[in-house]
Every structure is written in C-alpha cells, then in structure tokens.
Amino acid sequence: MNLNIKDTFTTENPADSNVENTRRQVEGAVFSYVKPKKTSAPKLLHVSAEMAEELNISSKETKSDFFKDIVTGNRIYPNTTPYAMCYGGHQFGNWAGQLGDGRAINLFEIEHNNKNWKVQLKGAGETPYSRTADGLAVLRSSIREYLCAEAMFHLNVPTTRSLSLSLSGDAVLRDVLYNGNPAYEKGAIVARVAPSFLRFGNFEIFTARKDIKNLKSLVNYTIKHHFAHLGKPSKETYINFFKEVSERTLKMIIDWQRVGFVHGVMNTDNMSILGLTIDYGPYGWLEGFDFGWTPNTTDRQHKRYRYGNQPNIGLWNLYQLANTLYPIIEEVAPLNNILEQYKIDFEKQSFTMMKEKLGLIISDEDDVKLIQELEENLQLVETDMTIFFRLLSNFSSKETAFNLIKNAFYNLENISDDVKNRWNNWFKKYDDRLKIERISSEERKEKMDLVNPKYVLRNYMSQMAIDEAEKGNYSLIDELFKLLKKPYSEQPENEKWFAKRPEWARNKVGCSMLSCSS
C-alpha cells in the first residue's frame, strides 16, 4: 500500500505541546497528537471499494492484513502522526465549551488525482477530548454511519464518506436509551474520509477563548487549502469565506429536505465548514411525511432538530459562526447581509426543489399554493414520503391518481371521505397544472426520478442489518450497501425494499427511537 501522504494540517497548524493522552482542556492548539487504541481481535467486515480507489488503494490491498491493521488502529502508517482535533460547540442552543474529537482519530492525509483526503477512525479509543467517555464505538452505530454516508453520497447529498467497517473484537459498555440499563455490545470502528473534518466549532473555540491569533491562523489555513479560489487572506476574503460556507450549508440542508433526511443533532460542532453531512448519530429518514418529526430521543420534548426546523437551525448555527468570525472582520453589516441572503435563498431554493420533485418546470403563479396544499394533505394521514413522490412520477390523470399513490398511505382503510376529497381536489389541480408544461409525461418522469429516490436507508433497514450482524451474519450490510449505490434506479430485483416501514418497526428501538449513542 503506497499512499501519497501529505501533512498540511499537522505542519501548518499549532499542535498541543502536551503529548500525554489525558483528558484535559487544550489551549493554544488546533490538535493533539494521539495514537489509536490497539484492538484485541480486529475483523474487517466491509470495505467501500469505490472510496478505496479514490485513495489509490487497490481491491487486493484492502484484503491485506496491513490494510486491516491500519483501519482498526493496530498499526500506524509509516511516517504519519495520528491526531485528534480541538473544537467547541453550541449543543442544543447552549455553549458547551471544549468538546473536540472525543472518539475520532485522524490518521493521515492522502493526495490522489489532485484531491486531498483526510482519513479518520471513529471508535478507535480515547483522546484528550473524550471527557467522561471511552472513545469507543459499538457495532450498531458504526453500521448506521458506514451505510448512511455512502448512501448519501449516491443520493447526491454533500457528505463525508466511508472507507471501511470493522469489528474491534472488544466489548463496549453502552446504555442505549440512557435509562440506567447499560449492557456490553460488540465494539466496532469506521474509517471515514473527507477533504476536511473541520467544523464550525473548530473556529468557535478560539473566539470563545479570545485567542484571535489562532482563529485567524486556522481561517487562513482553511482558505488556503479549501477555498483557494477566494484569494489571499484579507477582510474581503474572510467575508466571502463566510458567504460560501453559508451557501454550502444551505445547499446541504435543501438536499436533506429533498430526500427526507433528518440529522437529529445539528449542534455547531456537527456542522462541517465545507457544507458536508457529518457525524451520523441519531439520524433518521422520514417515514410518514411530518415536519415535526425528530429521530433523537434527547430532542423529543423540544424538537429543536425536527425535520421542518433544519433550515432554521442551519441559519442559527451560521449566526454563531458569524459571531466567531467577527473579530477578524470587525464589521457587522456584511455578515448580516449574508445571513439575510440565506433566508431569501432558502425560500427560493426550497420552492425550486419542491417544483422539481413535482416535475414542474415553467413558472405559474399558483405553484406556491399548489405546494402548500400538497404539504397539508401529506400530513392529513400518515403518508410515506419516499413512496409518494416516487410514485407521483407515474401520474397520468386525476382519475387514476388515488390508486397510484394509495401504496404510500399507512392506514388506507381508515381514510375519511373528507380526506379523499381533499386529495382528489389536489390531484385535479395538479393534473391541470401539468397540462401547461411543455414536456412529455416520459420526460417529466425521467426528471422527477432523478430527484425523488426510490430507495433510502430507512431506519428499519439499518436495524435489520444490525440485528443480523449481532448474530454474526454480515450479508445484509453488503446487500444494502449495493442497493443504495443506485437509489434512483428502479432495481426491480430489489422491489422488496420499496415498501413502507413494517408495523413491527413503528416503535422499535433503532427504528423510531434513537439516542446520541446510536
């Protein structure tokens, strides 16, 4: 395995002078050197061949003991220095102080085909930022992250990537629902990859500590390596940097809304500076279309991170980043203008996204009303979001519409006449609206099927893979991995996965209820 190793992050940013791996406050440093914990009996369960290729690792090399040892933390690649990053964050709206890579260890940077990638292990042991935790991960959460990151990539949603999923061979103690019933589970490690794992919180920690020198230094590094097109560091460049981070954040969240993804814990330490979906913890996919749904048990009371609030939380987090960058910009107006533009752009982009989901291309003054009525109807009765929009691309007439989408309803036999009438009225309006479009129904279907996935990683699907893996059967991980590489394709051989959540999964832990340990 001959990797093209770079070390821009560790050579261009200040390191923690204390090399002891003890939990502590780390000041004046962007990262701390730390070695992964050696595991007792590592076993490689799955590798993303596609991601390995991006790193110039061949399929033959991924089958070697050397690769297995690297991605389980049992061996350090020659001439590299693993590290954990220091950052803070606002958690559920409150400043939490220093957080940092508590169970993530960055192995190295690889440059290949003019792309720079950071490779990181999640669950490879404690770091100075682990606080009261052990820095380890369990199989269930690792399967969820491994599968979802690659699924999101193929859905065309900006995301970190997955390289490998491994068992550590060690038992890990976890309390799944934080209800005082801890149990030992299989330990696991995910090797994940991104151009950068920098978060809003990496910058926040310096401003909070009034360490403007290191704030400026880290911003300059980030611009140099990830926003070089903005030019040399200057006040204007910093403003444009914030503008682009804002735009990327919004694009990511619009994509989440499009496919029905709910992140579950949009704290500022979980917000990527590159606008990537990062940290797959208590995430979930909408089953019934519901703006008020959150998958996170910790968030159940206030629902801060519910599906319909994700765009607002993106804006709130950007306000925190604006406050963070203010000391090196020293002007409020340009930052406020960017934040105001986010609100305008959200309205525009959300509207455009919904029109695309409905196959509407030309403009019509009644489109806003048509979309609002649809969203109201979708909440009148539990309606599967993914199935509804996918089947809608087959729409041909209002007469056949109800039969077309009845498979998206959870409780078809109990739908009232009033609800049916409201749906029929909407389908009549939709039928009339489609008549003014200038493309054929075939072209419309083709366009709609590119934005409305047929297959997403539903929570019960992940849980089925987890249940099988706990018994030692890992075949379902591979089956789902392959299925989700082509989420927009019909895949008739996989039709069984184009189905509503089964009733057994409605209230099952891991399917409807997820904690931050998920």
- Per-domain boundaries in the chain: 5-200, 210-356, 361-448, 459-505
Q: Average of pLDDT values for 3-7? A: 96
List the structure tokens of 225.
């390596």
Over residues 180-231, the pLDDT tens digits come to 888 899 999 999 999 999 999 999 999 999 999 999 999 999 999 999 999 9
Q: Are the beta carbons of 166 and 189 closer than 8 angstroms?
A: yes
Q: What is the pLDDT of residue 212?
A: 98
Q: What is the pLDDT of residue 399?
A: 82
Share of the chain above pLDDT 90, in %: 88
Q: Average of pLDDT values for 279-292? A: 93
β-bridge mates for residue 42, sequence order:
none
Predicted structure pTM score: 0.96
* 300: CB partners within 8 A, 6+ apart: 294
Q: Average of pLDDT values for 35-45? A: 96
DSSP state of 35: P
- Tell me the pLDDT of the chain averaged across its residues: 95
Q: Are the beta carbons of 31 and 16 closer than 8 angstroms?
A: yes
Is 484 a residue whose pLDDT tops 70?
Answer: yes
CA distances from 314 to 17, 203, 267, 320, 344 (A): 35, 16, 9, 10, 14
User: Between the CA atoms of 154, 157, 160 and 161, what dihedral angle is there, to the nearest 10 degrees?
Assistant: 0
Q: Average of pLDDT values for 148-177? A: 94
* Phi, then psi, of 471 in degrees rounded to 5: -90, 0
CA nearest neighbour of 138 among 103, 185, 175: 185
If you search the block for the tokens 């401003």, which residue do you land on? 207
Number of H helices, E strands in the chain: 17, 13
Q: Are the beta carbons of 240 and 219 closer than 8 angstroms?
A: no
β-bridge mates for residue 98, sequence order:
88
CA distances from 93 to 96, 116, 145, 320, 380 (A): 9, 33, 24, 10, 31
Share of the chain above pLDDT 70, in %: 99
Q: What is the pLDDT of residue 517?
A: 58
- Name the amino acid, one letter, at 455: Y
Q: What is the pLDDT of residue 404?
A: 81
CA angle 306, 453, 464 (to 5 degrees): 70
β-bridge mates for residue 347, sequence order:
none
Alpha carbon distance 28, 201 (integer Å): 15
Over residues 315-345, the pLDDT tens digits come to 999 999 999 999 999 999 999 999 999 999 9
Q: What is the pLDDT of residue 137?
A: 94
Q: What is the pLDDT of residue 515?
A: 66
**Based on the number of CB atoms within 10 Å of its own CB, is 286 exposed (0-12), middle (13-18) or buried (19 or more)?**
buried
Alpha carbon distance 255, 153 (integer Å): 11
Q: What is the pLDDT of residue 403?
A: 82
Q: What is the pLDDT of residue 503?
A: 85
Q: Average of pLDDT values for 261-280? A: 97
* 507: CB partners within 8 A, 6+ apart: 513
Q: What is the pLDDT of residue 115?
A: 96
List 16, 269, 290, 299, catalytic entry: 269
Over residues 195-206, the pLDDT tens digits come to 999 999 999 999
Helices (H), 227-332: 235-259, 310-329
CA nearest neighbour of 119 among 4, 271, 30, 18: 4
pLDDT tier for residue 68 given thresholds of 50, 70 and 90: very high
> What is the bridge-based pairing of β-strands 104-112 and 115-122?
antiparallel
255 is catalytic: no
SS (H, E, C) 64-113: CHHHHHHHCCCCCCCCCCCEEECCEEEECCEEEEECCCCCEEEEEEEEEC
Q: What is the pLDDT of residue 507?
A: 81
CA nearest neighbour of 168 among 67, 43, 22, 316: 43
List the structure tokens of 489.
């394709």
Is 286 a residue whose pLDDT tops 60?
Answer: yes
Q: Are the beta carbons of 34 and 61 closer than 8 angstroms?
A: no
Q: Are the beta carbons of 157 and 256 closer than 8 angstroms?
A: yes
Q: Are the beta carbons of 159 and 495 closer than 8 angstroms?
A: no
Over residues 96-138, the pLDDT tens digits come to 999 999 999 999 999 999 999 999 999 999 999 999 889 999 9
As a whole number of angstroms, the longest Cα–Cα distance in the chain is: 72
Q: Are the beta carbons of 66 and 90 closer than 8 angstroms?
A: no
Convert 216-253 to b/e letters by CB count within 10 Å (16 or more is b): bbbbbbbbebbbeebeebeeebbbbbbbbbbbbbbebb
Q: What is the pLDDT of residue 214?
A: 98
* Phi, then psi, of 119 in degrees rounded to 5: -110, 130
Q: What is the pLDDT of residue 414?
A: 84
pLDDT tier for residue 516 given thresholds of 50, 70 and 90: low
Among left, alpha and beta (phi > 0; psi -120 to 50; other), residue 472 is: left
Lowest mean pLDDT among 237-241, 279-283, 488-492: 279-283
Over residues 332-385, the pLDDT tens digits come to 999 999 999 999 999 999 999 999 999 999 999 999 999 999 999 999 989 999
Q: Are the beta carbons of 186 and 167 closer than 8 angstroms?
A: yes
Alpha carbon distance 307, 286 (integer Å): 8
Q: What is the pLDDT of residue 175?
A: 80
